[in-house]
Amino acid sequence: MTDKMDDVDFSAVSLEQMNIGIEKYLEKKTGVCKVTLDERNPADRHAVLSWEQRNCCLLPEDLKSFYLTSNGFHFTWSVKLDNQTVPVGKMHINRVEQLLRLDVSSDKLTHIQPSLADLDTDSDNDDPISGIEKPTFTGRNRIYELDFCDGYSKVCLVYKEAKAVPGTDDYPCFLPGVSEPTVEIWFLDRALRWHFLAASFLEYYRLMLMHLGLPQWQYAFTDIGLSAQARQWFNMYAPIRLEVDGEITEMHPEKTPTGTSVVVSTLDVTKVFKSRADRKKQAGGAQNVGQAQQGGKKKPPVSSARSQGSLINRPSQASSLAGSGKGPK
């Protein structure tokens, strides 16, 4: 990201400019329907200040400007297949009041919200793709949920403080002016593993838009990779992003799983989104054309075996007649 991108003020632009015309772009794509963007009012400045006081930390300037322009974000789009509407894309950012610290209390543990012990089982300290130190549930890390991702993962806003002072157990506090924490966006998958996504909220927001909210697009930035079904959607609607994201994995071939190849078939988009009625019409039209072509051409007469035999014997009969001196009367 350039410095110009980092200085973007969300409050100075409209919601349509924030989304860089993504709604109009998707409406022109084949098969896309039900493109829906929830219009949300700006968050109250008092609500933002209350969140900062309650959590004893300041929101990043880009995220604060976003909330003062739109209190959260929710964008969905679907695809029509065989007269059925299939939900495909989804982009979501929690409201400021829903930006909650990841809860690891023992009385609310579920398979979606893992325990602190489960999260600490990951022995790797650095992300295998970016090489950045992973978040931990310690006194120097605060983790807040930006997107629930329908339960298959979590996109988190991570505050990472400086390490403890050497020789002591003291951590710098989160107060402004004392020690500014590093704020990053991380992805927590269902295997309870951390994956780095972006160095700021603005970078993550741009990534989300460029990937059109395709299913599980965040896995493109992990050593796990996209599923076969997700790759098919990428091939149809974001093939360039699939190539660009693949370069990240190719830069670290030693850190990616070996022997995992995915066979992706090539889809004809014009055929995928035809309804059954259209297919029947097309098949019936092709059959009628074939019949018309057959009716316009006359089949050559097929001689029987007897007639073929008579034609073969005619030269011999003529020669015998010539030899005997008898000719036709």
The DSSP annotation for 205-235 comes to: HHHHHHTTT-TTGGGGGSSS---HHHHHHHH
User: What six digits make up the tokens of 16?
Assistant: 């349509």
pLDDT(310) > 60 = no
Q: Is the Cβ–Cβ distance between 88 and 233 less than 8 Å?
A: yes
Burial class (CB in 10 A: 0-12, 13-18, 19+), 171: middle
The Cα 30–Cα 80 span in angstroms is 9
**pLDDT tens for each residue of 65-119:** 999 999 999 999 999 988 899 999 999 999 999 999 986 554 555 566 555 555 5
The amino acid at 324:
S
- Report the predicted TM-score, pTM, of the whole model to 2 decimal places: 0.68
**pLDDT tens for each residue of 180-206:** 789 999 999 888 789 999 999 999 999
User: What six digits make up the tokens of 275?
Assistant: 């309804």
**pLDDT tens for each residue of 118-149:** 555 555 677 777 778 888 876 678 999 999 99
Helix, strand, coil percentages, rounded to 5, for the chain: 40, 15, 45
- Rounded to the nearest angstrom, the gap between the alpha carbon of residue 246 and the centroid of all alpha carbons in its chain is 13
The amino acid at 181:
P
Phi, psi of 95 (to 5 degrees): -65, 165
| CA nearest to 78, candidates 36, 43, 127 | 36
